[in-house]
Amino acid sequence: MSKPSDLVQGTLDLLLLKILALQPLNGFAVSQRLKQISGDVLQVSDGSLYPALHKLEQEGWITAEWKLSENNRRAKFYSLTRLGRRQLEREAGNWNRLSAAISHVVKLEEA
Amino acid sequence: MRLERWIYTIPLRFRSLFRRNRVEQELDEELRYHLERKTEEFLAQGVSPEDARRRAFGAMDGLELRKEECRDARGVNFLDTLSQDVRFGLRLLRKSPGFTAVAVLTIALGIGANTAIFGLVDTAFLRGLPFLEPGRLVHIWTIEEDGDTHTPTPMQYQAIREDSKLYEQIAAGGWADYLYSADSSVTQNLAGFLVTANWFPALGVQPLLGRNFREQEQRAGQDGVVILSYDCWRTRFHADPSVIGRQIVLNRRLATIVGVLAQSLGPYFDELEIFAPLVPDSYASQGNVRAGKMRVQIIARLKPGVTLGQARLEAEVIASRFKNPDARADQSKRFVVEDFAEMFRNPGPTRRNAQRGLWMTAVASGVVLLIACSNVASLLLARGVKRHREIAVRSALGCSRSRMIRQLLTESTLLFLCGGIIAVVVTRWCEEIITKTASGMFPGVYLQVDMRVFTISLAVSFLSALAFGMIPALQASRVSLTENLKDAARNAVLGAHSRRPRKFLVAAQVALGMVLLVGFGLLLRSFLQVEFSRLGYDPRNVLTATIRLPLTRYTAAPDRARLMRNAEERMRFVPGVESVGMVDSLPMEGADASPLKIESPVANTPPVEDEIWFVCVGPDYFSTLRVPMLSGRAFRETDGQGASPVAIVNQTFARQFFPGTNPIGYHLAFRDSPMIWREIVGVVSDFRQRNPEEDLRALAYFPVAQTTPPRWSLAIRVRAARDLANVASRISGLLQAVDPQLYWELGSMQAQIHDSESLTLRRPVVTLLASFGALSLVLVVVGVFGVTSYSVAERTREIGIRTALGADRLKIAGLVLRESLGVTSAGLLVGTFCAFAAARFLPTEGIGWSGSGIFLYGVSRTDSLTYGLAAALLASVVLAASWLPARRAMRVDPMVALRDE
């Protein structure tokens, strides 16, 4: 009911950190960017996006400020902190190791 | 790293906590922005405005739920939820005051019982010694020529004080007896202790009121000052703070109260009521020093860092230098230095018996708490059923189950904490009466509700709330949405199935009640058996006067004999007195034991030697107690000093050492030298000398005139009960005329039994268990009444239909009564088994040589009368409790019932 079952556990955090590392964005923009860059493969419901963002904020990895958005309305923009950058490096490293290992296993020829 | 994180997170936490509205507003705004943009996006795709909005909301899947998740991310949200839950809970509880009152009172009773018992157990056994750094305190003894360990003489105390370098303080004390009369009519014997001025400082004990003794008060003439123990101050002086400076008469001398101690002095000194300065020069004549040993107990405080080993080494050196006062230099004389705290690790039999009694009551109070808790749990369950609708609606609105459980638990915790606080407050009011009830067991027991007891009680309340609130919370939150929102289905769903957990809890209460009542019943029957057991003598209309001789006078045996004869003679001629007997130890006081040589009835065999209890009695003692002589004669006036030494033995003695023969004419002797053989001249019927429940034991009696003890009693049989007061009022005057310097205590043989160790140990336990039994009955009544009422209310519709279909009213009542009887019998059955199992833990023997204690006596663990009565009592109580709801069921009007929904 509440967990994003459409994504490998923990990958949503990685995605969000990566997206925000590129440029500060508001929530709506993040949801659009997610769809855009993953080419609709990764389905993240709008519902699970905000709790995840708030969690990252409370961890101190991203920080928020209210700014005017592209259509001149006040919106909450998130950007990466120094801690967040380090976290991103760590998670990206983990992800690379994990995906490499899994693809290695998947590519094994059947004997 | 950690620190850097805090830089970001701490301001956020503070913001969430203290700028809550602002944070909420921002959350709303953020989400609104998203929804608006999303709607615009859909509109751009050509969707109708209404549809666009709906889809935007839909993409959130559950806006409120998502908001809640965002709040959870804040990390401090639980505080928020808690305050919300507490407010909601309080509102709900206020809305049903009846339920709240019953539940809170029930919990208060359960927790209160436990608070009281825990307080007693805590002060009696759990707290450490009430002294400053008890690890540095030592006890100093001597070993004398006879090889035995003794308390040192005042002279030895001086030597240690002068020569030792390792101690901060070396203090001495000695037991003394004080006669105190509050209103000149009743004289009480107070246990006193004579102490040097540094005794309290050595222990590190500060007085609650007033001051410690001063150095100059250790001189004769200036020692007219006393310090009261806390207990003495409370019981005899009504805790009056103005006692300081007041003069009281002790041993016919004026003494000024200069201090009151703050607390108990721990198990070793707890029986002491009065402290006075020890004056080394006149120590022997002070305060009627007990047992005439004229020795002191030395307690010393080691300097910081000094070990016991070093102290022992030094004691050796001092002992080697120490010269015996009468110039007989003795090499074998040594000092023994012992860890003071060590003495408390092995408590004596009285303490261990009391400990056992307290544990029994602690278990009983635990059972009361269990009953109270299951009672409240069943009420909560019943209430949960009523709230099914509310809970279903909340769950439909997206409230998660764990959130619901948390809220329900908050409610029950509120109930339990309220109950707990009331319990502690009430227990605090009842401190006095509870202390009074329990103090019989042994002197150190008292109840003091302090922060420690308070904290523990609240912790117990909290844990009970979690444990017993969980079942109702789980049950209530397990809601099937569709079925419950459909109104019509309600009665069908909430049938017998939902009542099952409640029935289980009621049965559990009955079972627990059974265990408690059986335990109480067995101990009560034991108590009654002891109280009304055949003692072998007739205690009615017998007064007692116990007389102590001033130790400095009457040192010669003939003087003592003359004094005793004189007192007995005068007493005999008081109008109303039937006979007077003299004895050194009254029944229930026990007796001294000594190895005796007993001539063997078998020819040419050496005498048998055995440790035998002996009592010294006067000529008319047996007839005064109405104990028959079985053969031979009683002692006569002529069996005095100079006459041929004689003895009497009891029946058990005769059976044990002279099986099949008449012991008269044979001899026995103490092991002293020169050995004096005493001829057995009579056999007396057995009677109890120490306590009512002991096994009969072999006893030897010697004429009081041939032994002349320093303390003896008169047993005065009065012709009729109406003469008792008259005779009692004349005893004091008479004794004063014999010698104005005598000390005496007046009593009666029946008081002697009432105050015997057996009954004083048992009485508090039985009283406390009786009140717990009564409590458990009340709780069972409340529980059964509540649950049956709820179940009748739930079944109103069913009952209406039944009535409408022609069921007669008795059948309806039967329906209700049958249900509670069914539950009760199940509970009784299980309870009986549990009681059997629990009774196996009840001891059947006392602790220690005295044979008294708290154990089953004269009743078997499976006593059918006790079990039967307990079951009958519970069954009738349950029936009575379900009668009112049953009557209500009978009066259900079918029309009203069917229109009910």
Using DSSP bridges, classify how beta strands B225-228 and B253-261 pair: parallel, antiparallel or unpaired. parallel
pLDDT (0 to 100) of residue B78 = 72
Q: What's the mean pLDDT in B752-762?
A: 87
Q: Do B73 and A31 touch (CB under 8 A)?
A: no
Q: Which residue has the higher pLDDT, B483 or A94?
A: A94
Q: What is the pLDDT of residues B89-145, one digit of tens each?
A: 889 888 888 889 999 999 999 999 999 999 888 887 777 777 888 888 898 888 776
* ipTM value for the complex: 0.84
Winning range, highest mean pLDDT, from A59-73, B16-30, B97-111, B236-250: B97-111
CB B200 within 8 A of CB B207: yes
The share of chain B scoring above pLDDT 70, in percent, equals 91
Q: What's the mean pLDDT in B236-243?
A: 87
Q: Do A63 and B62 touch (CB under 8 A)?
A: no
Which CA distances in Å does A49 have to A82, B15, B99, B349, B741?
Answer: 22, 22, 45, 72, 98
Q: Which residue has the higher pLDDT, A45 or B31?
A: B31
User: What's the mean pLDDT when you consider all of chain B?
Assistant: 84
Q: What is the pLDDT of residues B46-78, one digit of tens each?
A: 888 888 888 888 888 778 888 888 888 777 767
Residue B493 scores a pLDDT above 50: no
Residue B492 scores a pLDDT above 60: no
Nearest to A83 among B4, B70, B75 (CB): B4
Nearest to A45 among B4, B33, B59 (CB): B59
Winning range, highest mean pLDDT, from B344-348, B404-408, B562-566, B825-829: B825-829
- Residues of B with CB below 8 A from A46's CB? 34, 38, 59-60
CB A91 within 8 A of CB A13: yes
Winning range, highest mean pLDDT, from B179-188, B606-615, B805-814: B606-615
How far is it between the farthest Cα atoms of chain A? 62
Our CA dihedral for A17, A23, A27, A28, rounded to 10 degrees, sits at: -130
Residue B899 scores a pLDDT above 80: no
Which amino acid belongs to residue B805? Answer: L
The share of chain B scoring above pLDDT 90, in percent, equals 26
Which CA distances in Å does B764 have to B264, B361, B454, B535, B890?
Answer: 20, 9, 23, 22, 46
pLDDT band at B736 (very low <50, low <70, confident <90, very high): confident
Nearest to B5 among A26, A57, A60 (CB): A60
Sign (positive/negative) of CA torsion B522, B524, B528, B533? positive
The share of chain A scoring above pLDDT 90, in percent, equals 5
CB B312 within 8 A of CB B337: yes
Q: What is the pLDDT of residues B664-696, one digit of tens each?
A: 999 999 887 678 899 999 999 999 888 888 778
- Residues of A with CB below 8 A from B61's CB? 45, 47
How far from chain centre, in Å, is Cα B433? 12
Q: At what angle do helices B496-531 and B757-794 cross, to 10 degrees?
A: 160
3-state secondary structure B260-285: EECCCCHHHHCCCCEEEECCHHHHHH
pLDDT (0 to 100) of residue B647 = 93
pLDDT (0 to 100) of residue B423 = 93
What is the secondary structure of B32-87 as a DSSP string?
HHHHHHHHHHHHHTT--HHHHHHHHHHHTS-HHHHHHHHHHHTS-HHHHHHHHHHH
Residue B186 scores a pLDDT above 70: no
pLDDT (0 to 100) of residue B93 = 87
Lowest mean pLDDT among B29-33, B111-115, B400-404, B502-506: B400-404
3-state secondary structure B626-691: CCCEEEECCCCCCCCCCCCCEEEEEHHHHHHHCCCCCCCCCEEEECCCCCCCEEEEEEECCCCCCC
Q: What is the pLDDT of residues B588-644, one digit of tens each?
A: 888 888 888 999 888 888 888 888 999 999 999 999 999 999 999 999 988 887 888
Give the residue on A whose Cα is nearest the Cα of B13.
A58
Cα angle B42, B43, B47; round to 5: 80
pTM of the predicted protein model? 0.75
pLDDT (0 to 100) of residue B16 = 79
Distance from CA of A95 to the nearest CA of B (A): 22
Give the residue on B whose Cα is nearest the Cα of A28.
B34
B61 part of contact set with chain A, CB < 8 Å: yes
Residue B488 scores a pLDDT above 50: no
Tell me how far apart the alpha carbons of residues B321 and B323 are, in angstroms, rounded to a whole number.
6
- Residues of B with CB below 8 A from A76's CB? 26, 29-30, 33
pLDDT (0 to 100) of residue B489 = 44
**Count helices and strands in chain B by DSSP H and E runs:** 30, 22
Burial label for B359, CB within 10 Å (0-12, 13-18, 19+), is middle
CB B253 within 8 A of CB B180: no
Helix (H, G, I), strand (E, B) or coil at B201: helix
Nearest to A47 among B37, B66, B73 (CB): B66
Residue B825 scores a pLDDT above 90: yes
Residue B171 scores a pLDDT above 60: yes
B5 part of contact set with chain A, CB < 8 Å: yes
